[in-house]
Amino acid sequence: MNAQATTQDRERTALGPIARAGVRPRGRLNVSFEFSPPKTPEAEESLWTAIRRLEPLAPTFVSVTYGAGGSTRERTHRTVRRIHEETGLKPAAHLTCVGASRDEVDAVIHDYWDAGVRHIVALRGDPPGQIGGAYVPRADGYNNATELTAAIRRIGDFEVSVGLYPQVHPESPSAEHDIDVLKAKIDAGATRAITQFFFDTDGFLRFVDQVRAAGIEIPILPGIMPVSNFKGLQRMAGPCGIVLPDWLSELFDGLDSDPDTRRLLAASVAAETCAKLEEAGFTDFHFYTLNRADLTYALCRVLGVREPEDKS
pTM for the complete prediction? 0.87
Question: Does residue 113 or residue 8 have the better pLDDT?
Answer: 113
Pairwise CA distance, residues 123 & 9, whole Å: 39
H or E element at residue 261: helix 259-279
Structural domains of the chain in order of their starting residue, each with its CATH number: 3-18+28-302 (3.20.20.220)
Q: Is the pLDDT of residue 3 over 90?
A: no
Pairwise CA distance, residues 217 & 191, whole Å: 10
Q: Is the pLDDT of residue 15 over 60?
A: no
Q: Quick one: 223 exposed, middle or buried, by C-beta within 10 A (0-12, 13-18, 19+)?
A: buried
**Interval 164-205: pLDDT, tens:** 998 888 888 899 999 999 999 999 999 999 999 999 999 999
Residue 104: C-alpha distances to residues 49, 82, 146, 270 (Å): 32, 22, 17, 39
**Interval 257-280: pLDDT, tens:** 999 999 999 999 999 999 999 999
Pairwise CA distance, residues 119 & 59, whole Å: 14
Q: DSSP per residue over 154-179, as a string?
A: HHS--EEEEEE-TT--TT-S-HHHHH
User: What mean pLDDT comes out for the span 63-67?
Assistant: 89
Residue 223 confidence (pLDDT): 97
Least confident piece of the model among 27-31, 172-176, 182-186, 209-213: 27-31
Residue 266: C-alpha distances to residues 136, 233, 269 (Å): 36, 11, 5
Pairwise CA distance, residues 156 & 172, whole Å: 30
So which residues are the catalytic ones? 34
**Under 8 Å between Cβ of 93 and 119:** yes
**Interval 138-172: pLDDT, tens:** 889 999 999 999 999 999 999 999 999 988 888 88
